[in-house]
Chains A and B, each alone.
Chain A
Amino acid sequence: MKESRFSKWLFGETDVMENILEMDEVHDESREQQKREIRHIRREIRRSRSAMKIASAETKGFYALYHIIAVVSCILLIGVLLFVVACLPRYGVENPETTAMVKRYVEDGLRETGAVNIVAGLILDYRAFDTLGESHVLFTALICVTILLRLDRKNTRKDYEDYYTIRTEHFHDISKEAIMRNVAAVLVPCIFVFGIYVLLNGQNGPGGGFSGGAVMGAGMIIFSVAFGFDTADRVFSRRLSAWVTFGALTFYSAAKGYVFFTGANHLENHIPKGTPGAILSGGLILPLDIAVGLVVAFTMYGFYSLFMRGAQVGG
C-alpha cells in the first residue's frame, strides 16, 4: 500500500519543517557599516567642543521650552473646548430649530429619495454635492501618493539601494506559504461577495459605496499578499485601475451634473425611483454607490501597490 503523506508524517518518516528555512541572524554588512559611521560621527561631535555647546544649548533651552509650551497649550485648548461645550445650548430644548432638518430627513427621506437607508439617501441624494467632492478627495490623495512613490527618472531609489536590497533579503515572502494560499483561496471570494453585497445593498441597509469599497479593497490586498504581488498586478494592473477610476468618477460627475441641472431648472428627471426595498431602487443611489465603491477599492489597492512597488528595487 502506497503510503499517504499523512501517514508518512504520522509515523515520523518526513520532516514537515524540511522545506522551511529557519530564519537566523544574517550578518548585515552594510547596515553594520552605517551604524559604525553614525557612531563615528557622534564621537566626532562629542569631541568638538563648539558643536557640543550648540547641541547642549539646543537640547536644554529649546526643547525644554518646546515641551512646556506644547503641554500648556494643549491643556489650555482642552480647557477652552470643555468650557465651550458647557456653554452650548441644550440640544433641541434651547434651540428647537436644530431638529427640524433631521425630522424632514427621517420622515420624508424614504418617499423623496426611494432609499430605505436614510444615510445613503442623505449623502447621495440630499447632499450629493458634498459626496461628489468627497470622492474626489480620495482621488486627489491617490494622485499625491502616486507622485511621491511612483518610480521615475528622479525617483529611482539608487541612493537607497543598499537599504532596499537589505529589506528584500530579509523580507519573508509570505506568498510562498501554503497556509496563506489555501486560506486566501477560501477567504478572498467570500470577502468579495460580502463587499459586493454591502455595496449593492447600500440603499436598503447599512453599507454603501465607501464601506463596500473598503471591504473589496481589503480583499484585493489579501489576494495580492497571498498569490504574490506580480500575479495581483497582472489582474489589477495600473492601467485597469486608471481606467476604472476615470470611468467611475466621470460617471459620477456626469450623473450628478445631470441631476443638479434638471433639479435647478425644474426639468423632469427621467431616473425612476423604483420600489423601496428592492435592489433596483433609490434612483441614482445604486449606480453612484457602485462608482464610489470602485473608486474606494482601487484607491486602497493603489496605495498598497505603490508602497509595495516602492519596496521592490527598480520595480
Chain B
Amino acid sequence: MNFITNFPLFTIVLSLFSGVLCTMLSGKTARRYTVIYECVLIALVSCVLYYTVRTGESFTYVMGEFPAPWGNEIRAGILESLLALIFLIVMICSVLGGSRFIDLDLDFSKVNLYYTLINLMTAAIMAILWTNDIFTGYVFLEILTLTSCGVLIVREIGRTTLAAIRYMIMNLLGSGLFLLGVVLLYDITGNLLMIPMQETIARISGDHRTLLAVTMALGVLTIGLAIKSGLFPFHFWMPDTYGYATPTSGSVLSSLVSKCYIFLLFKIYYRVVGIGVFEKLPIANILLVLGMCGIVLGSVSALHAEHINRMIAFSSAAQIGYIFMGIGIGGTAGYTAAIFHILAHSVTKSLLFLTTPRLAEASGNSLLFKKLQGSGLRDPSTGFFFGAAGFSMIGIPIFAGFSSKLLFASAAVGSGSRYKMVLIMIVLAVSSVLNALYFIRTLIRIFSEGEDKRRTTVKHGALYAVSMSTLIAVNLALGLFSWVFTGLIEKGLQMFG
C-alpha cells in the first residue's frame, strides 16, 4: 500500500489539530501557522491528485482496524482531490487576501479564535470531500454549519448578528432534514456506507413502494441541502449573510461552504442512490426547474441591488442555480459542467468578495454604488482584480466563466430532449445578458471618473496582491486549459460511480 494513501487522513486530523492549537496561540502566530499548514495541506492534496491520476483508480482507506461496513472509511479519487486542491487554494487566498480586514473587524483578543474556526472549517470541508460514509458526512456537516455561523458573528455588528441568527435557523432546518433523510435511508438499507447502500437500493428499487420511500428520503435530503446551499426558493438569507460579513467569511461561505453542501448532495445521488436509479426519479427535473428559476430571479434581484455586496450575493444565488441546473440536465456532460462550475465559481466569487471592501475603502468605506463611482481609478490594482473577476462572471472568453457556460450549453444540446434544450438555451442567454448588464454597469461605474480623484492612501500588502493574482491565475488556467480540467472531472466521474 502506497504511503500517499494516508494523506487524506492526515489532512483531516491535521486540520482538526490545528483548529484546537490556534486557541492557544496569539492572533498573529495563529495566522502564520494557518497559512503554513494550509500550504502543507495543498502539498498533501496535490500528491493525492497526482497519485490518483497516475494509477487511474480511486482508493479507499479504512479508518481503524475494522474494515467497512463495520468501521468508517474514506475514499479518494480524482474528483475529490481536484476539488480539495482548488478549495484549499481558495481558502488560503481568502485568508491572506482578507487578513487585514480580519484584524480591523475583530477584536484582537478574538483573532486567534477566527483562525480556529477557519481551520475547523477546513477539516470539515476535507472530511466531507473524502467521506465514503453518509453519517460521517452528517457529523462534519454539523461542524461546517457551526463554523460558518461562527465566522459570521465575529464581526459583532448588529446586522451580522441578525444575519447569523437567520442563517443558523435556515441551516439547522437543513441539518434536521438531512438527518431525517439519512435515518430513512438507513432504515431502508441497513447501512451507512455508500457503496453497500447503493447495492441494496439497486436490488430493492424494483419494488414500487420501496422506491417511493427512497424517493421521499432523497427528497428530504435534497431539500435540506438545497436550503443550506441556497437554491432558488431558499436563497433569501444570502444577501444579508454574504453582504455584511468580514470579507474572508463572505468569500469562504459563498465559494466553499455552499459548494461543499452541493458536492455532498451530488455524492449522495451518485454513490448512495446510484445514478441509474436517480435518473429514473423525478428529482432531477425539479432541480432543473428550480435551478433555472434561481438563475433568472437571482440575476434580476442582483440588478435591483443598491449595494455592491448584495449584488454579488444575489449573483451567487444565480450561480448556485447554474450548478443545480447542471445536475438537473444529467448525463456525464451535465455533471461535468456542474462540477466545473463549482470550481469556476468558487475561484471567481472569492475574488469579488475580497476586492469589494478595498474598493469601498477607497470611497469612504461605503459599498453603495453611488459612492463607488471612480473607485477603480483611485485604487487601480483592486480595480483590475475586480474587473478580471467581473469578466469571468460575465463569461468573456479565456476566463473560467466562459468555459463553464460553454459546457452548460453543450450539455443542454446533448440532453436528448428538444424542449429541455431550447429552455436551457433561453435561460442561458437571458442570464448571460442579465449578468453582463449588472457587471458591466458596475465596471463602468467603478472606472468612470467621479468627483473624488485622489489616489487612495491605503497600502495593500504584497500578500494581498499575491493571493489575488493566484486566484486570477487559477481562473485563467480554468478558462484556457478547460479541456485538462474537464478531462480530469470526466475521469473522476468514471471512478466515482
Contacts and interface: CB of A to CB of B under 8 A. Distances in A.
Interface string B122-140: 0100010000010110011
B139 A134 contact: yes
A263 B66 contact: yes
A69 interface: no
A140 to B, nearest CB: 4
B482 to A, nearest CB: 35
Interface residues of A, number: 61
Given A104-B70, A253-B16, A265-B1, A137 B139 contact: yes
Contacts of B180: 81
Contacts of A125: 64, 66
Contact of A260 (B64, B147, B209): B64
A182 interface: no
A48 B127 CA distance: 57
Interface string B189-212: 111000000001000100101101
A100 interface: yes
A155 B66 contact: no
Contacts of B13: 253, 256-257, 260
A218 to B, nearest CB: 23
Interface string A262-305: 11111001000000000000000000000000000000000000
Contacts of B69: 101
A152 interface: yes
A245 B127 contact: no
A213 to B, nearest CB: 17
A264 B213 contact: no
A147 B19 CA distance: 15
Given A144-B149, A261-B6, A263-B65, A88 B184 contact: yes
Contacts of A242: 23-24
A8 interface: no
Nearest to B161: A148
A249 to B, nearest CB: 5
B20 A253 contact: yes
Contacts of A127: 71-72, 135
B9 A261 contact: yes
B117 A129 contact: no
Interface in A109-150: 112, 125-130, 132-134, 136-137, 139-141, 143-144, 146-148, 150
A144 B210 contact: no
Given A88-B213, A144-B153, A155-B107, A129 B72 contact: yes
A256 to B, nearest CB: 8
Of residues A95, A98, A127, A249, which shows the largest number of chain B Cβ atoms within 10 Å of its Cβ? Answer: A127
Contact of B20 (A101, A139, A150): A139
Interface residues of B, number: 63
Interface stretch (B29-37, B108-116, B323-331): B108-116
B20 A250 contact: yes
A105 interface: yes
Given A95-B190, A129-B63, A101 B213 contact: no
A245 B139 CA distance: 20
Contacts of A141: 146
Contacts of B147: 140, 144
Given A104-B70, A125-B64, A128-B63, A148 B153 contact: yes
B120 interface: yes
A93 to B, nearest CB: 12
B20 A264 contact: no
Given A126-B66, A128-B72, A133 B139 contact: yes
Interface of B: 1, 5-6, 9, 13, 16-17, 19-21, 23-24, 61-66, 69-72, 107-110, 113-114, 116-117, 120, 123, 127, 133, 135-136, 139-140, 142-143, 146-147, 149-150, 153-154, 156, 180, 184, 187-191, 200, 204, 207, 209-210, 212-213, 216-217
20 contacts: A80-B216, A84-B212, A84-B216, A87-B209, A87-B216, A94-B204, A95-B190, A128-B72, A129-B71, A130-B72, A130-B136, A130-B139, A133-B143, A143-B150, A152-B110, A242-B23, A259-B64, A263-B71, A265-B1, A269-B65
Give 7 closest A-B pairs by Cβ, nearest first: A98-B190, A263-B65, A152-B107, A133-B139, A129-B72, A87-B213, A144-B150
